[in-house]
Amino acid sequence: MTDGVTEEDRVRLAPGVMLRQDRVRGHWQLLGPERVLILDEVALEVVRAVTARPPAKVGTAIAALATQFDAPRDEIAADVLELLGDMIAKGFLTR
């Protein structure tokens, strides 16, 4: 599910959501009102890439991630679009 996310979109944290490191438990998380999403290393890199300042288009973030992980861009794009769609549907990110 991509929730209609395209490479032309610009994605940001939803209102009231913060990216935080839980130093006690040793992980990064998105904290929102009455909800939390624990991020693995890949999800953290995706969130950082799409929410960087100034905000970049999703396609620009995908290209950077493909280079960073030395992976085929098409595979990265499919995974990133799916992940972003899920995070938007859950209310952690917005366009």
The tens digit of pLDDT for each residue in 4-17 reads 899 999 999 999 99
Q: Where are the domains of the chain?
A: 12-94
Return the higher-pLDDT residue of 3 and 18: 18
d(CA 34, CA 73) in angstroms, rounded, equals 35
Residue 53 binned pLDDT confidence (cut-offs 50, 70, 90): confident
pTM of structure: 0.90
Give the mean pLDDT of the chain: 94
CATH class of the structural domain 12-94: mainly alpha
Question: Which residue, among 4, 6, 3, has the nearest Cα to 50 in the 3D structure?
Answer: 6
Name the DSSP letter for residue 10.
B
